[in-house]
Amino acid sequence: MNFDMRPENRDLLDRVVAMIRDEVVPLEDAYHGEIGKGDRWSYTDRQAEILEGLKAKAKAAGLWNFWLTDSAKGIGLSTVEYAYFAEEMGKTPLGAEVFNCSAPDTGNMEVFERYGTQAMKDHWLARLLDGQIRSAYLMTEPDVASSDATNIRMSCVRDGDDYVLNGEKWWASGAGDPRCKVYIVMVKTGGVDLPKHNRQSMIVVDAETPGIEVLRPMQVYGHDDAPHGHMHIRFSDVRVPAKDLLLGEGRGFEIAQGRLGPGRIHHCMRAIGQAEAALEQMCRRSLQREAFGKPLASLGANYDIIAECRMEIEMARLLCLKAAWYMDQGDKRAAAPWISQIKVVAPRVALKVIDEAVQMHGAQGISQDTPLANAWTHVRTLRLADGPDAVHRRQVARAELRRYTQEPV
């Protein structure tokens, strides 16, 4: 088991670290300060200038689309190598997008690349790879427990050369962005006569198709996350050409598994980056600020807290690299329990570290004056998004129990 990076990729990583430090971080405050000036769901000229300017620099420097780990189109990183890049990008909110590595686009691009027709690749994938447009993934529905995707019931009925879609989706991340032009939607095409994992399908929907209505942004602890957003969307008699159904009816689960595996581990890698950033802030604060005549670091159990945070981050990173290594072996089934383990562990560790960093900052820690409060809310959502903890723990336990019984578990 090898967690090393090839020397040429180490150099690439150093360039990413330098660009984040020297060019991205200095513009973060200016970028976020623009949100709410005018329409929250569009980009101000200054915001667009910052974001597109950084993207253009990254692309020109060849620092682009690192996530394409097993494709000729990408730089050719292994998943293990990409883990180090994702961790760095996770340290700052704009990090992933500047290098065209952000969710949900990476997962959606993967779907287009693996399962899309040539027409989809030309029309959607090319523009996504180029960073011209963005996309959303619509699986979760308000009326059903969506952690069990066999419950997904948006109707999708064949009518001539089209499918007609009716129903509601919510928590469609990124669908608030005016650049979001395409949705990949999980729908129900089959009934009880089919095995339960063959009843759902995935269909590609142009976001501007008549009948699509964005009802509202869902809020994360009171934040709407504009202009990205997590949208609640209604489909009323939305006609989609039948050729836009991916792979064929009943193959939605197959695609969902292909899509969510890499996406889950990318979230974890970035969460470890957020934990590292929080630990750095905690340490700096604890050395700079004094109470009772001593730096905060020397008071109470603060040395222990810092040490525990360091140790937990190291353990989480190693588990993440191990899951990435399993993915690189090409056996998705063998990798799945490892991905589930890290999907539980990484957000848990990151939340703990960020929470301790908040505590070390006193009241300022929960305010808008540090990135910590925002980081905490973001990482908290990871315990739900892409499968709640309980569902992943179940996967881990089933893999464990299968070692001791031939019976279905």
Contact residues toward ligand FAD (CB under 6 A) are 104, 137-140, 145-147, 171-173, 220, 230, 381, 384-388, 390-391, 394
Q: Is 249 left (phi over 0), alpha (psi -120 to 50) or beta?
A: beta
Residue nearer to ligand FAD on the CB measure, 149 or 360: 149
Residue nearer to ligand FAD on the CB measure, 46 or 398: 398
Residue nearer to ligand FAD on the CB measure, 136 or 335: 136
Q: How far is the CB of 392 from ligand FAD (least distance, A)?
A: 9
Integer Cα distance of 91 and 101 in angstroms: 13
Residue nearer to ligand FAD on the CB measure, 364 or 377: 377
Residue nearer to ligand FAD on the CB measure, 270 or 317: 270
Q: How far is the CB of 220 from ligand FAD (least distance, A)?
A: 5
Q: How far is the CB of 296 from ligand FAD (least distance, A)?
A: 32
Around 73, how many Cα atoms within 13 Å sit in the side-chain half-sphere?
15
Integer Cα distance of 236 and 342 in angstroms: 38
- Residue identified by tokens 């959303």 is 136
Residue nearer to ligand FAD on the CB measure, 309 or 382: 382
Q: How far is the CB of 378 from ligand FAD (least distance, A)?
A: 8
Q: How far is the CB of 380 from ligand FAD (least distance, A)?
A: 8
Pairing of strands 180-188, 134-138: parallel
Residue nearer to ligand FAD on the CB measure, 80 or 372: 372
Integer Cα distance of 246 and 163 in angstroms: 12
Q: How far is the CB of 136 from ligand FAD (least distance, A)?
A: 6
| Exposure letters 208-245 (e unless 16+ CB within 10 A, then b) | eeeebebeebbeeeeebbebbbbbbbebeebbbeeebb
Integer Cα distance of 339 and 261 in angstroms: 7
Integer Cα distance of 378 and 381 in angstroms: 5
Pairing of strands 180-188, 200-206: antiparallel
Q: How far is the CB of 293 from ligand FAD (least distance, A)?
A: 43
- Residue identified by tokens 């405050």 is 29
